[in-house]
Every structure is written in structure tokens, then in C-alpha cells.
Chains A and B, each alone.
Chain A
């Protein structure tokens, strides 16, 4: 007889049945939903709340991103919220009592054209004025920090320099979600998996309940944290969002000895790569051009990204792709998120983080919790209101975000 399987390790959260009513319901049990619930409980004393997840906890984009954390955005509004997120990342392992291996190994954003160089230097200047650590590296300094990078002139788009943010880095995404989930659970938050929202109950223009495949749940407030599916939920609630959902792909190689000490991103030739703690090379590809909810994309997007990776990192030519996958990202036309109130009373939305939501997780949670609890936005998310598409006060972060957000 085979030995009995070992005992399951301690569960990090309960799996409760939904109660008939809550003070607030968060739709979406990914990083942002869990962080929001955590800050609602911790900062605002709202513990009679639930997080509804249609699949399994953190199985959407939280499981599919490339885990890059940085705050070197151009505009004041973005620098403020992303830098606040980075400061939270620096204290969260202790606060959540969970070491999710936040590694501040630095992030380089390469420049390959004169336009890139000018834009990058401008961004370094803007970052410094906003208190974000940033420096400009010439090609030789790039090579010193990341010796496997090909800085020769003999490639299609030679490396002409890079911006560098030393405090940026990567973290273990699954563990981040689990850390938040465990703390939420300790604080009394109900995390309900396999609970898909199928509609909303409204009294006039005020939301008073959530219909789910596990029954109707009464609630005073609803916060939407559904990333690529935000438009679907908004339609159920009776309003529109300026969001387009696209497949975004990423891939990992098999395990290698440590060869890549930092994180390298290139918007121009389009690749971003780091090496995970375990040893895989983690690379992000581009979005598919078409709208899609299929959590998979076209292979030519992967090929394009690999071509760029091999030119920049010749030693990758012999690495094998282990796995590719896709997630659904919620893009806005100014490449900035939407965090705030909606046309429906007591319903709030956190979406539009597009290709770069992971790094924003703590700040999204903090500001969205504040917005839900008080009914008015936090200073940091005030500029990211839905109304900006009417007022024209857009926050154009395509330069700092691009797809390699």
C-alpha cells in the first residue's frame, strides 16, 4: 500500500457560505479586490463585508501577470499613486506578516531611438521632481548592471541608454494574494469563491443587492474590482465604462541558473523580462489588437516578443519556452486607471489598470477602500475619476506605460 498523503497544510482562509447581507460587497477576488477588502477592514473598521470571486481566488490576472513593480510614471497624478503603492509594497510584508519575496532588484526601461532618449530623460527629470528614484544610464552603465544585455551597435535597434529605478522590482504574485486573503480572513472578511455575479438589485438608482449563482446578497455598497470583465458588470448595473478588453500574453522559460540580475523593459522593440526567484525567465508579450475575453491570444504576438528578446539577450536563444498564457486586460484610452464613483448610487468601480495593475495593487486597495467607506475619493485617486473622460482632464501615460505597463 502506498503511504497516505501528507496532511494538508493549514488553510489560509475559511470558505464560508455567503450571508444574506453585508455592509459592502467587493466583486472580484483578485489582488485589487482582496487589497480593497483588507483596507476596508483595517482602515475603516468595515469587517462585515464579502469578496465574491467567480472562479478561484486570485486566478485571473493576479495569476497571470509578470509581477513587475515600479513607480517611474511621467505625470504627477500617476507618480503620486504608483509611488504610494511602491512605499506600501516596502512595508506590506511586515504588515501582512507574510514574506512574499518583494525583491527590489531595480527596473531598467531601455531607449532605442533619439525619441526614446529624449522622452526617457524627460521622465527621469519628472520622476526626481516627484520624489521617485530615477536615473539615466548610458549603454556602458546598462551593460554593467545587466551583463547579458547586448549593447552592440550591430543590431536593428541598438541600446542607446536606459532609465533606471533602483527601488523597483518583482514579487511573488500568488503569495501577495494569499497574504492579503489570510489577513482579510483574520479580520472577519468573508471570501466566497465560485460565486459569480449575475446581476444587481437596485432601488431606483441605488444598488441594494447583488444577484449571484449562490443566491441574492443584500448590501449597502458594491465595489467592482473585475479588471477585464468590468464592462460586463457595468452593463448589468446599467452604465457604461470607457474600457476595451484585450488578451495580453506572457510566457516563462524552463529553469536556469541566475543570469539576469534586474528587470529589463523595452517598449520600443517590445519585451520585458526578469528572472523569477525559482529560475524561470519571465517575459511579457504584447496585447492582441482585437477585443477578446478568451484568456488566450495569437502566437505571432509571442514570436514577435521572442525575436526582440533574443536580439537583446543573445544567450536566451537556447532557452526553451515552458509555458505561455493570456489574461484579459481592461485598457483605457489614456492608459490610466479609473477608481471612483459610478452613475449608480453606492456602486464604485476600480478598473482600467490595463496591462499594469499588479504594481498598483496596494494603492488601488487603499484608495478604493477609502472611496467605498466614505463615498468620496481619496486624494490619490481623485484625478482618476470616470468624469475625466467628460472634462478632458486625461492622464496620458502611454509613454510610461505603453503595453509594457
Chain B
């Protein structure tokens, strides 16, 4: 069960939401101009990304509002939640592997922790309500 942070209602169980598939797929500006191949692309072809994926969700039993989410399709970690109509934020940096902990001088970690777990809390500045799935992030 994902714990999803609705921009309007706060953290709620996944069962309150409906999935809306890939985000940022615009209706063709001039459908009549499309050939069969292009129309098939619009109707049937969606990205099936392994990794960070921008997708739409509807808080159907709450505020009934749509929003976008950037989620990792392998770990199921929710990396960012952002409004419809805004651009996709950059993917959160991948979880640091051993020996590659952040060396950024403006690291927000306190410095008391072991270096190997530093930088796990970095969120992109354009991700106002990023959250983490409770059972995710095993990878």
C-alpha cells in the first residue's frame, strides 16, 4: 500500500486514489493531420519506464482533484508530487551507492551520521510535497 501525499488533503492510503497512467500526454493539436501510425501512438502507446516515471493520480474519494506524481517503478518510491499543467521536476538523485555519498558542500545532513547514509533526504526544490512510500525503498 502506497502512502500518497495529496496536495490538498495530505497523506492518505493508496486505496483512496485512482491511477491515471503516464502524465504529460497532450491531445494532438490537429488530430485530422495524423496518419494511422501517429494516431496509434497517441491512442495505444505509452511509455513503460523502468525507473522514474511521471504519472497522473486522482484523489477519487477525497478532494477529487488530479495531480502528477514522479514515482520510481522499481522501488515504488514517490519522488515528487506536483500540480497538473506544470513541468515534470527533475528526477530525484538516485540513492547513493557505497562510496558515492554526497560531497556537496551545502549538504543538509547534520554531519553526525555515517557518510554512507548521507544525502538520502535530498529533494528537488521543485518538489514541494515529496514523500516516501513506507514500504518502498528497499533498493
Contacts and interface: CB of A to CB of B under 8 A. Distances in A.
Contacts of A299: 1
B19 to A, nearest CB: 4
A300 B1 contact: yes
Contacts of B26: none
Interface residues of B, number: 27
A293 B15 contact: no
B96 to A, nearest CB: 20
The prevalent SS among residues of B at the interface is mixed
A242 B45 contact: yes
B74 A294 contact: yes
A20 interface: no
Interface centre among A241, A243, A293, A333, by most B CB within 10 Å?
A: A293
Given A290-B19, A390-B40, A298 B2 contact: yes
Interface string B47-85: 011100101000000000000000101111000000000
Interface string A260-303: 00000000000000000000000000000111111000111000
B50 A293 contact: yes
B44 A291 contact: no
B45 A240 contact: yes
A241 B76 contact: no
A389 interface: yes
A71 interface: no
Interface of B: 1-2, 13-15, 18-19, 21, 36-37, 39-41, 43-46, 48-50, 53, 55, 71, 73-76
Which 3 residue pairs are nearest across A and B when measured between Cβ atoms?
A231-B48, A289-B19, A242-B44
9 contacts: A229-B50, A231-B48, A240-B41, A242-B46, A243-B48, A290-B2, A290-B71, A299-B1, A390-B40
